[in-house]
Amino acid sequence: MIEIIKCMPGCTVQDAGRFGYRRLGVGSAGAMDGLALATGNILLGNDAHAAALEIIFFPLEIRFQEDCAFSFTGAGQAVLDGQALPGWWKGTARRGQLLRLESLGSGGIGYLCLAGGVAVETVLKSASTDLKGVFGGVQGRMLKLGDVLAVHPRTVTVDAGDFGAVPYENGQGALRVLPGFEFAALPEAMQAQVFSSDWQISRQSNRIGFLLEGPRMKFDVPVELLSYGVLPGLIQLPPSGQPVVMLADAQTCGGYPRLGTLIDSDLRRLAQSAPGSSIQLRICTLEEAAEAEASERQYLARLSRMREVVCP
Amino acid sequence: MNTPQFHRMGTRAILVESQQPQADLRTQQVYWAFDQRAADLPGLVESVPGMNNLLLIFEAMEYRENALADLHHYWGASIEQSSARDARQITVGVLYGGALGKDLPILAERARLSVDEFVMRHAAVEYTVFCLGAHPGFAYLSGLHESLHAPRQNAPRPQVSAGSVAIGGSQTGVIAANMPSGWNLIGATDTTFFDHRNEPPALLAPGDRVRFEVRGIEA
């Protein structure tokens, strides 16, 4: 068990997401940086999709009420009883120890995984918190001071000390977009602007979507659409002219015109970018998107093999 | 019937959609048949019926690319064999107006109807559930009388109560969760539309017929 000693808003229990219920209006929720979650779980010998704490605003402080191995991946810095730990690290806490997760000042999302995985009720096949539906995670809400969370009994008993992962090397530069839908209906000058502009991530961004502030985009003739199924990564253009990139808590159906889709690898990078910072977009091909996905799979597979070597 | 467009969405999904100004039941019935036919495609994770469209999500890009040819074929077959669904009839008791339906007087005035007449028109129609979406348990209903159409609020209200009966543009429905909404609120019901502990969790399913029953009108 762990107890939350200090907590900012936005901290939730998330796993890889909830699938199969979009047709009932239930979105996926789940970790916004699935690769960081999977890495943290693999370091512990957990199922890669096991539930963990997602931290959007730091600091978070927890007290261990039992001996427990943990890992911390993504953005931020872990400090155990005053001792700073390396990034993307698997550590071991003794009962009574205090773990503080703090910001490194550059924004981003952190994942605290616990050996065995955070034990919460599985709702519709997932532990992820659905804030809109108010279910999953801890009573469908953000964590708060005084919450006590249990962990699943460990399936792996061998503990080979503490070690870390080399963080996945994200691509640099512009975030990759598969253009489509109404993109071709934008005036040509604006089509070019989508990929030549600096887009500032609005401070109103959240788990539902990231708003991009920059040149206002408008269709010559307003586009009216019937409501259609929406997925994270889809870039919508509401009448405000300010594009929105859908994220994990996006509604399952929407009606705004669409410019294309951010590829999954770069949707993670966007989610890890601090509100107020700037990003660029560029066109990519399906082949390029497939390569990016394969590269992530290889990273996780390599990590699993290495862990088996360290903890046979 | 228009040939739909097949859009790739991201790396793993296809959105098949018919572009038209209003969703119609005949087209929707074809999509229901299409959805059932596509359910056995290899690597399909889930499908999401929308308003005269269907989103299909696959495990990986290869499955999606392989499915494209079959989907075109399935579409043709669905036009031939679409049929109405076994419709259930569900009655939703509504207290119109009052604190939870505070936009009712304004909407009635704008429609140049008395509040009573506005309510009677809303409750006179049997609506058809086209699909569920947006938030858990929310049903897109078709059939709202044209005289009751009303543009959404300029800015969404930060918190609307679950069970609010509302009109947004040409659509009406019951907001199924406590959440922000820009729809106009005309009443409230105590019917629960989504409970994750139920099987199935959602009260309504595509094809169901919904009728609103007037439990009272508060000015």
What is the per-residue pLDDT for A283?
A: 97
Beta bridge partners of residue A126, listed in sequence order:
A123
Of B13, B21, B196, the CB nearest to A123: B196
Chain A touched by B177 (CB under 8 Å): yes
**Domain map (residue ranges) of chain B:** 5-81, 89-218
- Alpha-carbon distance of B195 to B202, in angstroms, equals 7
Residue given tokens 């505070």 in the structure block: B102
* Predicted ipTM of the assembly: 0.94
Before A59, cis peptide (omega within 30)?
yes
The CATH number fitting domain B5-81, selected from 3.30.1360.40, 1.10.150.130, 3.40.50.720, 3.30.1200.10: 3.30.1360.40
Q: What is the largest CA-CA distance in chain A?
A: 64
Residue A275 near residue A205, CB atoms below 8 Å: yes
- Alpha-carbon distance of A110 to A101, in angstroms, equals 8
- Alpha-carbon distance of A165 to A155, in angstroms, equals 21
Entry pTM:
0.94
Report residue A140 as tokens.
Answer: 């469908």
> Which stretches of chain A drop beneath a pLDDT of 70?
155-160
Residue B28 near residue B132, CB atoms below 8 Å: no
- Alpha-carbon distance of B205 to B128, in angstroms, equals 10
Chain A touched by B57 (CB under 8 Å): yes
H or E segment and range at residue B67: helix B61-81
Report residue B207 as tokens.
Answer: 């094809």
Of B47, B54, B177, the CB nearest to A133: B177
Interface of A with B (CB under 8 A): 19-26, 123-124, 130, 132-135, 178, 180-181, 224-231, 233-234, 251-254, 261, 263-264, 286, 289-290, 293
CATH architecture of the domain covering B89-218 = Beta Barrel (2.40)
**Closest Cα in chain B, distance from residue A106 (Å):** 28
Task: For residue range A143-180, list pLDDT tens digits in order.
Answer: 999 999 999 987 555 566 889 999 998 878 999 999 99
Across the interface, whether the CB atoms of B45 and A130 are under 8 A apart is answered: no
Kindly list the structural domains of chain A, giving each domain's residue range(s) and its CATH number in brackets, ordered by start: 2-167 (no CATH), 175-291 (2.40.100.10)
Across the interface, whether the CB atoms of A293 and B61 are under 8 A apart is answered: yes
Chain B residues in contact with A20 (beta carbon < 8 A): 45-46
The mean pLDDT of chain B is 94
End-to-end CA distance of chain B: 45
Secondary structure class of A41 (helix, strand, coil): helix
Residue A54 near residue A41, CB atoms below 8 Å: no
C-alpha A244: how far from chain center: 17
Instruction: Provide mean pLDDT across the span B120-135.
Output: 96
- Alpha-carbon distance of B204 to B193, in angstroms, equals 7
Judged against a pLDDT cut of 90, whether residue B154 lies above it is answered with: no
Task: For residue range A122-140, list pLDDT tens digits in order.
Answer: 999 999 999 999 999 999 9
Q: Within 13 Å and on the Cβ side, how many CA atoms surround A47?
A: 14
What is the per-residue pLDDT for A159?
A: 66
